[in-house]
Structure 1
């Protein structure tokens, strides 16, 4: 990769800097063989596109591209002649609707500076995956295809209701005095996070604590994969529980930490509590968990000498969290997926993602199918733990699946064998696709 692709803003020509400062339009500057198009949108969000000299007419638009250095997969696409760019989430945050409109405004700026693309593809990871899917759903007149990776595609309201379930069960069973935050997360998020991590670490040292952590994980459909224990045998209840604990609290970027930070932020952004568990029967929520999960929970409760029925009764007897209806309405408007897609869409998820839990993909598939659009969707899965933990090879293989669909009008083979063959040939990291269908989303 020539160094010229990634030279810093210090190399932008003086004329381009003047244009950017004056906000008269997008700044365009050549960096060796590439052209950089950058500036700020109407809400001050930064945008940036890299356009190779041999641009092939396709542009990728990504929520997070302007906020940091390009990934190996993004560099590979630029080397192949694709323009790549996008915005940042720094201004919009959890206001997903505004972030979607920013993608279109950034695409307008790109078009103004470079010319009308032959096709535009919305792409992104994590919240960027949600934005990519929403942009394709809302703007099929501008977006020709979508690659949504590790996004919470059950939608904003449902995924945060499920996170509330997890924390609520933990609170009732491990913090009966209610000292740790569930919905009213303080501004000192780090202290809240550390307090929860400490309580969970203590609980993990006892059979009773491990059983109760397992119950919360099963209800919340956390992955029983962690960065230290991948794909544990469900017949080994201790290993399965340890993997759950890794996803919840033991791994980098633990589930409980994100449950604190994003809960605090979203409550502020939407002006109230946008989640609830009024009317939820946690006996029923456990019944909705996978058979493997239920067996592990039962085995751990037996080993600890605890009554599962009594603990579920304790959870159900807890004072419930009520939502602010106006906040729910604003949260849903920021975007709830309908399944009414009209452009080819590929999703890419790793099954051990502790933040965008993989069961959400089942909900997205169901909505797309019910809307009559299943032929436009292909979902792919990677055997790894950690949030958005893909190799560049896996990302490019999924991208090639989408590009082939756009080129030919037909889906090529999306099975794991073919995807791994494609990824392996790239020599850009491991190829770990496998056949998988997520559990039914329970919230």
Structure 2
């Protein structure tokens, strides 16, 4: 917020009460940039900051993103796009948080401010990462009149309700079998303490054969990747799909390792979400966890069986325990309010290309299957392409990988036809963009998402 206000002062941008900036655009910024850009910034009606940076030789394309304001001006992807004549900008989540529908609408509002200053864009693309990827998918559905395409990256494309039902499943199994008494829904005000309690409990369980078997079971049911970052943030190689112990270690790291552990985000975001929607929007009433295990990734399912056998545990007994456990019911009004954030229904009117890391512990890759299936059911499959990278951790894409995705969509807009989006084609496109490290697109088929909403 401070940076947005400071930039507004420098370039004469507006505030919530001020009129949008007038043509011919903003004031000079980013001194020394060969793109010789100008910038505008200000605040939208709800107080959300926005910023845009525009090269002197603007080619009419603008890329808009949640989370650009405040950090995107000096991002390496911004420099790459400016060099190609592409403008970049967007908003911040500082005001909207988990009010996803407001964040979606703010992308269109920010674009309107940009176009008032610089003229109508030839191509307007919404593209963000994490919550920004989720919002970009929502923009494609809600604002196809304002935007021409969307590139959601590492977004939770199971939708507001679906992705948090999936997270509930993971923590429910862990609480029942590994960490009784730890919070699943009612997250205390001291989120850091809750996060630490979960990580400590998982670390203790990881030291025993029984704990490791049950961690693997929870990860399989919750469709987590069996690949995670080490506690110091470093990335181990992907585990051998035939090595049950390596798969379990990967699942444990996805849950409790790295700078953004799954259980930590499940604590902090759950508390924020329930404050926004005024109750609990997640449930597991009627959920058959034995069935979910049967439908999970085959390699991790086999690992669960092997680990249970090694620990001399009865898997069927644990599944019966889960089936008999008191379930968590949702607050219907909270579900309704949360679903208004966005239920991604696949009704696409503009081209969309998704980018997902197969080792993303936050925006789990199975959600991409649900998004793709809904688009095909809605008859919009020709407008959608989905791509994957062999990356571990949340949103671990290189600037070249992101740029390649955006250039792919630009080709679709300019020609009316998709270029090849296979892994070799995407890697070749990224490699031609001064890629360092080597691009990591891979062929991948995600497992079927086990908590779609609506079902």
Query: Shift in Å at residue 278 of structure 1?
Result: 0.7
Deviation per CA, 1:55-85: give whole Å up to 9, x if none: 0011111011003144212220112111100
Secondary structure of 1:124's counterpart equals coil
Contact 2:11–2:39 (8 Å) recurs in 1: no
1:119 aligns with 2:115: no
Secondary structure of 1:338's counterpart equals coil
1:16 aligns with 2:18: no
Match of 2:59 among 31, 52, 56: 56
Q: Which residue of 2 aligns with 1:3?
A: none
1:34 aligns with 2:37: yes
Query: Shift in Å at residue 229 of structure 1?
Result: 3.6
Q: Gaps spanning 5+ residues in structure 1: where?
A: 1-6
RMSD: 1.7
5 Å-filtered alignment, 1:87-106, equals: 87-106=91-110
Q: Which residue of 2 aligns with 1:77?
A: 81
Deviation per CA, 1:323-382: give whole Å up to 9, x if none: 000000010111010100011110001100000000000000000000001111111110
Match of 1:436 among 435, 441, 444: 444
With over 3 angstroms needed to count, the CA separation of the structure-2 counterparts of 1:309 and 1:73, relative to structure 1, is same
Q: Which residue of 2 aligns with 1:146?
A: 150
Contact 1:133–1:148 (8 Å) recurs in 2: yes
With over 3 angstroms needed to count, the CA separation of the structure-2 counterparts of 1:15 and 1:205, relative to structure 1, is closer
With over 3 angstroms needed to count, the CA separation of the structure-2 counterparts of 1:175 and 1:369, relative to structure 1, is same
Q: Distance in 2 between the 1:125 and 1:291 partners? A: 29
Q: Distance in 2 between the 1:437 and 1:15 partners? A: 47
Q: Which residue of 1 aligns with 2:163?
A: 159
Q: Distance in 1 between the 2:413 and 2:205 partners? A: 51
Q: Distance in 1 between the 2:185 and 2:132 partners? A: 25
Q: Which residue of 1 aligns with 2:209?
A: 207
1:44 aligns with 2:47: yes
With over 3 angstroms needed to count, the CA separation of the structure-2 counterparts of 1:342 and 1:16, relative to structure 1, is same
Question: TM-score normalised to the size of structure 1?
Answer: 0.95
Q: Which residue of 1 aligns with 2:69?
A: 66
Contact 2:179–2:202 (8 Å) recurs in 1: no
Contact 1:211–1:301 (8 Å) recurs in 2: yes
Secondary structure of 1:331's counterpart equals helix
Question: TM-score normalised to the size of structure 2?
Answer: 0.92
Secondary structure of 1:426's counterpart equals coil
Deviation per CA, 1:123-152: give whole Å up to 9, x if none: 110110111111111111111011110001
Deviation per CA, 1:102-123: give whole Å up to 9, x if none: 1111111111111111121111
Secondary structure of 2:327's counterpart equals coil
With over 3 angstroms needed to count, the CA separation of the structure-2 counterparts of 1:304 and 1:416, relative to structure 1, is same
Q: Distance in 2 between the 1:404 and 1:50 partners? A: 22
Query: Shift in Å at residue 8 of structure 1?
Result: 9.7
